[in-house]
Structure 1
């Protein structure tokens, strides 16, 4: 990793310093590292300086290698920040003084070293402690602009229950669901099981049991009958104390990307996710390990394409999003679009659908990265 001087030569104009922030404490740590590698390959080094900062699985911020060739899956194994970091080089510290954007590396037995002055952070973090408003709140305190949604939108986008509540309030159709909160489970697990059974009686099997605040399909189980329910609940609880149970929505899976432009957000051409033959649904392995291809653009009528793009923009505005969003829908047999969820920092790996949809819309990966950074630089922190 080449360190950057905090002060450019007199009379020169320095390039904006981008802090590429990745890894994190969530179960999506490895996906985030792969995403960071793709961004490092694409970012224009004649236009930006980049400081790759990884968050280890135990939460430490460390300087890492900037070699994207080390940030790839090998034999279906995901890379980690720990593999990329020089642990002897100390932790990275970002000031919470909004008048001071210096990034410092603290070392044991040595004076702290200033690595540069941050102009923008690109947090390619997925899941809790990164995509849920926590890091966004820290960056607001620090006064450093960042790519993507603010604190509120990030929190809404991470919590499947409140996401659905917001969408319903704005008139978007959502599928039937049931939420089991931690207090209910601990005080009356039998009652919670009875509520799930009643939900199954009302909507039928299969059901999908999910962690309420996780992503990349991690911790999700399709349950085809009562005999599989306990294991599904236990698996969801491994990732989150709050779980959500959803009824099956019969329909085609349609996705649409939203990107912020200077004149406002625009929607991409939509894509379709066919259910892969080897998987019961579009799970983590289908997304990232088997690289199940989506269909871009989706085979929709002009009116359906117009409608899903309209709804994606409506979801973007409903949750007060900024920067980017991937909105996921089901197109039912009666022609209705039912929104499943949004992702405020969608998968950004080379096989991810968000970049593919914008590629089909005329914006390549490198241009997409640049537009996101420029949108962040145009905004200031504060109440967003």
Structure 2
């Protein structure tokens, strides 16, 4: 990259070691295409399923295809990130082992979902190297990635959330009866969810006591910690939050309501990414003004509680009595052009490209404020 080009260098990271690898690849293709090329240079860095960083030139070809989901494949080259706080250059090692410099990154834009992407581990690398990055820091990312701790912190702060039980693989093996007894207290049906996975990976809806074991075993494939929640009778409504931890005001989008049809028992992976006709997001959600204000108020409170910055999507349930319960906090929500977070902002007056520019700008300003 020429030294005369003074546009900030944005390194977009995608792929990674989690079960959401392919979702991340598709997300990156949408974001890279929409980044303002007049304002920024872009370096597309894919991370393989074993953690190797490499430049991905064919990112435009990454799209959802059930028969051939996109993947970052190790091609023998590698990008080596610095860990010093001296503004060192990224290094590139080609297939013959020859090293060259790629330049210093001005801001990372991580688009990795799940473990080793939105759980604070990658954010720690950015902070070690004193490099600006889009999104929340180590604590916010780690605490919100773990559904058990998310709910525990919200309950402690008095933010309404639905009840849950924690079942670890160790406890299930050691005392199955005790775990079954606690889960039985929630009633049926229940949802079984890996505590630290996303995109509905490993999530099951259980309608009988006999179905609990199979659901837990499926969830344990993705995580050793699992939470079990009762089914909430209500509407699924989400709210997008945008802003800096340093600012007194946050922006909240019009809430969006999710309605799932077809053969989907809930908003699962296929409904989110493959069977798009079976999942409709309505924005603004068809709720009254008071409920809208309550959703936005709670979304902002959760954002503040977890010291978030940049972006977050707060998922809620709105019950038949009008009560709003917080379900989850996502600090790196789905960001494909059809994902709920950018869709809600588009329906609130901020289009995809403008949203991306705002997030990059927040990251750069946040970093300058703390340097």
> CA separation of 1:259/1:208 partners in 2, compared to 1, >3 Å: closer, same or farther?
same
Q: CA deviation at 1:280?
A: 0.5
> What residue number does 2:188 align with?
205
> What residue number does 1:361 align with?
348
Q: Which among 18, 31, 34 is matched to residue 26 of structure 1? A: 18
Structure 2: runs of 5 or more not aligned: none
> CA separation of 1:99/1:210 partners in 2, compared to 1, >3 Å: closer, same or farther?
same
Q: Which among 215, 219, 224 is matched to residue 236 of structure 1? A: 219
State whether residues 144 and 381 of structure 1, in contact with CA within 8 Å, keep that contact through their aligned partners in structure 2: no
> CA separation of 1:14/1:66 partners in 2, compared to 1, >3 Å: closer, same or farther?
farther
> What residue number does 1:184 align with?
171
Q: How many angstroms apart in 1 are the aligned matches of 2:369 and 2:96?
A: 36
1:225-248 CA deviation, whole Å, 9 max, x = no partner? Answer: 012111101100000011111111
Please identify, of 352-361 and 184-193, the stretch whose mean Cα deviation from structure 2 is larger.
184-193
State whether residues 239 and 252 of structure 2, in contact with CA within 8 Å, keep that contact through their aligned partners in structure 1: yes
Superposition pairs of residues 331-370 of structure 1, within 5 angstroms: 331-370=318-357
Q: How many angstroms apart in 2 are the aligned matches of 1:75 and 1:175?
A: 33
> What residue number does 1:79 align with?
70
> CA separation of 1:185/1:227 partners in 2, compared to 1, >3 Å: closer, same or farther?
closer
TM-score of the superposed pair, with normalisation by structure 2: 0.95
Structure 1: runs of 5 or more not aligned: none
Q: Which among 314, 331, 335 is matched to residue 327 of structure 1? A: 314
Are residues 1:56 and 2:48 paired?
A: yes
TM-score of the superposed pair, with normalisation by structure 1: 0.92
Q: Which among 120, 143, 153 is matched to residue 133 of structure 1? A: 120
State whether residues 81 and 90 of structure 2, in contact with CA within 8 Å, keep that contact through their aligned partners in structure 1: yes
Q: CA deviation at 1:106?
A: 2.1
Q: How many angstroms apart in 2 are the aligned matches of 1:125 and 1:190?
A: 37
1:160-216 CA deviation, whole Å, 9 max, x = no partner? Answer: 0000011112211111100012432343344333433xxx2x332101111010001
Instruction: Count the aligned residue pairs.
Output: 367
- The DSSP-based 3-state class of the residue aligned with 1:307 is helix
Q: How many angstroms apart in 2 are the aligned matches of 1:235 and 1:319?
A: 29
1:276-314 CA deviation, whole Å, 9 max, x = no partner? Answer: 232101111111001122111100111111111111001
State whether residues 256 and 312 of structure 1, in contact with CA within 8 Å, keep that contact through their aligned partners in structure 2: yes
